[in-house]
Amino acid sequence: MDKDNQPEKRQHVRAALSARAKIKPLDKDLSRIIKNQKTAGSHIADDSSTNNNYHTKENRQPAFHISDFSAPIDNKADPSISHIVDSIYLLNDKLDRIIDMIEEKNEKNNLSVKETINICGTGMNLILFDPVEKGQLLDISLNIPGFPLGVFNSYGEVIWARKYEKNGNSLFEVGIKFINISTDEREKLIAYAFSQQRKSIRQLKEEKI
């Protein structure tokens, strides 16, 4: 076996995937920026500002932390300080409600996912109820073990899409290529794929016993 091809083969090892997925089309402006960067041969920065912006109540950070204030707060504090603290709590609560409303609105733009099929270090296959076009860019969020908070976020490009009918419903099988993942994220996906393969092999052996 050619050792030079081993890393290439590793990242294409696929494993079955059954995961909660959120898929949302990118708006035209962001899609144009990303495609221009791809054309120029540059890479999308691997940070929280370029990854998927889904935030849940579990991982959201408060807008303000009381510990940010250097002055100690106690029962003998100046009444004006207590008023400021109360106002900050109220403001933080309002900001959380606004974010919840924005997230609820964004959910309406999500594509309807029937099921995820498989995944590898370079991309994934899944079935959608909604049509997509080849070359379309998507915002992807998948619940996969091994990632922070169990969530993998990435942008993806539709490489191919196939429409078919099942039980009178139109479905769309889609192949997606990840376009902004780091080496560390790719290695985690590869490790996940191999672990799922080992799990499948163990199950087959147990069934034969």
- Are residue 45 and residue 123 in the same domain, yes or no? yes
- Are residue 148 and residue 49 in the same domain, yes or no? yes
- Are residue 118 and residue 169 in the same domain, yes or no? yes
Compute CA distances 41 → 7, 122, 133, whole Å. 21, 18, 23
Q: Which residues pair with 164 in a beta bridge?
A: 171
Q: Does 8 fall in a domain?
A: no
> pLDDT 10s per residue in the chain (209 long)?
455 555 567 888 888 888 889 999 998 888 888 888 776 664 444 443 334 443 333 444 444 443 443 444 455 556 677 677 767 767 766 766 665 566 555 567 889 999 999 999 999 999 999 999 999 999 999 999 888 888 999 999 999 999 999 999 999 999 999 998 899 999 999 999 998 888 888 888 888 76
Nearest 5°: CA angle at 151, between 174 and 66?
Answer: 145
**CA–CA distance, 13 with 200 (Å, rounded to integer):** 14
- Are residue 85 and residue 168 in the same domain, yes or no? no
Q: Does 155 fall in a domain?
A: yes
Domain that holds residue 92: 66-107
**CA–CA distance, 60 with 93 (Å, rounded to integer):** 12
- The total of structural domains in the chain comes to 2
Q: Does 6 fall in a domain?
A: no
Which of 139, 128, 121 lies closest to 174, judged by CA? 128
pLDDT value, residue 16: 87
Residue 71, Cβ density class (10 Å: 0-12 exposed, 13-18 middle, ≥19 buried): exposed
Element (H, E) at 22: strand 21-25
pLDDT value, residue 47: 41
Which of 142, 149, 119, 153 lies closest to 44, judged by CA? 153
pLDDT value, residue 51: 42
pLDDT value, residue 107: 63
pLDDT value, residue 90: 73
pLDDT value, residue 64: 40
